[in-house]
Amino acid sequence: MAFPATRLRRTRQSDWVRRLTRETRPTVDDLVWSMIIHDGTEARIPITAMPGIDRLNIDEATKAAKRAQELGIPAIAIFPNIDPSKKDDEGSEALNPNGLIPEVIRAMKAAAPDVGIICDVALDPFTSHGHDGLIDGNGYVLNDETSKLLVAQAIVQAQAGADIVAPSDMMDGRVGAIRTGLEAAGHTNTLILSYAAKYVSAFYGPYREAVGSAALLKSDKKTYQMDFGNTQEAIREVAMDIEEGADMVMVKPGLPYLDIVQRVSRELHVPTLAFHVSGEYAAIQASAQRGWIEEERAIVEIIGAFKRAGASGVVTYNADKLAQLLS
C-alpha cells in the first residue's frame, strides 16, 4: 500500500515553515502584567511562595509601569498588600481616596499614560477576616451589603484614574450595581472587567500570602466562588455579567479551566481574559529551579495554550519576561 500523498510532517521540517504555518501566535499585545503593591517604604519585598516576584512600593511600581510602556505591554493589574493595622471587618480602607491603590494609580498613570491600569474590586486584601465581603455572625458573606461597598470602591478607583475596574468577589448582581454607580458618578468610559467565572481553587495560595490574607482566612470561599465541577453554571454567570454591563470577562484560574475559556469565548463572543494565577506561576518556578523544565519554553507554551483556547488576553506575573521572549 502506497503511503498517503499527504505528509503532515512536511510543514514541520524547518523553522521557517513552522513559523509560516503556525496557527496561533501569542504576542505582547496579549499580556496583562499582574503586580502586588505594598504601602511600606521598602522598595521590594520578596514573596516567598512566588520566587522571582516582589511586592513593590509605589516608586518601584511606577518604574514598572514605565517598563511596561517600553515593552509594549497593554495593561497592568494591581493588587494591594496593606499594613495589617489598616484592616477591619468592613474593609473600610478600600474606600480611602488617598489609600494605597488610588495613590499608585495616579503615580502609574502619570509615569506611563499609555498603559491601562486594571484595579481589583474586592475587599479581601482589606478585611481582617480575609473574605471578599462583609460577613454575618455565622461567617456567611453578605451579598447585597457587600455589593454596596464594591460600588463605592470602584468609584474611588475610577476617580483616581483607573481605566478598568475588575470585580473579583463573585457577589451576585455586583456588575450591574457598579455600572450604575460609575454612570451616576460620571465615569461612563471606565471599563468593567468582571471575574465572571471564578472558581474555588487550590491555586490561589501564593497570592493570599502575597496580599497578606492567608493567615486571616479561617474558612473557605465555597459559598460564593464557583465549584470546580461546573461548566454550564459558568456560562450562566458570564451571560448575566454581560447583560449587567461587563465590557470584558475573566476566567480564573487559567490552566485548569481552559475548557471554560474556550466555551465562554466561542459561545458568548465577549473579550475573554484568563488569569495565569499565583499557584500556576509558583509550580513552574519550583520545577524550573530544580531543573525539571525549561522555564522560558514553558511560559511561552502556556501563553500559546491560552490563545488556542480563545483568550483575548492573559493576566500573568511573567508579563515582562514574556514580552521580551515574544518580541
Distances (CA, A) of 30 to 76, 159, 216, 275, 302: 12, 27, 34, 12, 12
Q: Which of 87, 198, 221, 307 is catalytic?
A: 198
Question: Does 321 qualify as catalytic in the annotation?
Answer: no
Contact at 8 Å (CB) between 191 and 158? no
Q: Please, what's the b/e burial string for 282-293 (b: 16 or more CB within 10 A of its CB; e: otherwise)? A: bebbeebeeeeb
DSSP helix/strand/coil, 201 = coil
Strand partners, 121: 167
Question: Does 198 qualify as catalytic in the annotation?
Answer: yes
Distance CA 104, CA 110 (A): 10
> H helices within 136-201, ranges in order?
143-160, 174-184
Q: Which of 87, 109, 221, 252 is catalytic?
A: 252
Distance CA 318, CA 327 (A): 14
135 phi-psi bin (left φ>0, alpha ψ -120 to 50, beta other)? beta
Cα-Cα end-to-end distance for the chain? 46
Residues forming the active site? 198, 252
